[in-house]
Amino acid sequence: MKTPTLAASLLASAVLLAACAGRDVPRPDTGASLGLAEPLPPPSMSDPAVQVAPVDVFFAAIASHCGQAFEGRVRVDTPASPDDAFSGKTLVMHVRECGADEIRIPFHVGEDRSRTWVLTRTAGGLRLKHDHRHEDGSADAVTMYGGDTATAGTASRQAFPVDADSIANFQREGLTASLNNTWAIEIVPGRTFVYELSRPNGRLFQVEFDLSRPVPPPPAPWGREALAD
């Protein structure tokens, strides 16, 4: 997929939102801080004339921030990880590539550009995968793991229980603690984005990003430099 420029990605977001809502969407204000456009609102679910599935509102809400990057913080880490890879690091997510059926969101941890969240439409909902790469762009041994939505979710939160392919990958690599993972994403457009990992044993990890304060986009994630703007 070709990486959109900021203007093109915002236009794509507007088209997507209009398609979901069945009405025109005004052009975003381009005079915001850092020269980035203000996020577009997701289609309203309160309008009786508009029937939009929660998953469509959720997907469109993320797409409305396409081209923008945001800094975050670890909100919850219970129990605390003994080998915390996030401590003292700048955490930045970048809604970098947006299409009608897929959104790619690199998650940078300091200088580590190995992680990308890949959100894809499916026949029954959404799929979340984690694309992990080495600095040379090659795939990590543990990559493209995640799962599909098992319920309709809401316009602001979708959960992704671990799928069979991911379980097989974790077993092969000896990651038994991850066999019962559930990931979730929450979004309040223009306010917050939360990435979550939970397990039945009480493990809970959340990173929260401030969507009200865009930051300059980071470099391309490893393996996607050819798609840099």
Digit-by-digit pLDDT tens for the chain (229 residues) are 444 443 344 334 433 443 333 333 333 333 344 455 555 555 555 555 567 899 999 999 999 999 999 999 999 999 987 778 888 899 999 999 999 999 999 999 999 999 999 999 999 999 999 999 999 999 999 999 999 999 999 999 999 999 999 999 999 999 999 999 999 999 999 999 999 999 999 999 999 999 999 999 999 999 998 776 5
Judge contact between 51 and 192, C-beta under 8 A: no
Domain boundaries, the chain: 66-227
Using DSSP's 3-state secondary structure scheme, residue 41 falls into: coil
The per-residue pLDDT for 82 is 76
Judge contact between 227 and 97, C-beta under 8 A: yes
- In this structure, the strands spanning 102-109 and 112-121 are antiparallel
For the record, the structure tokens of 19 come out as 């398609």
The per-residue pLDDT for 50 is 61
Tokens 């019962």 sit on residue: 180
Q: Which residues contact 151 (CB under 8 A, 6 or more apart)?
A: 159
Please indicate, yes or no, whether the overall pTM of this predicted structure exceeds 0.85.
no
Q: What angle do CA 199, 203, 209 make, to 5 degrees?
A: 100
- Residue range 66-227, CATH number: 2.40.128
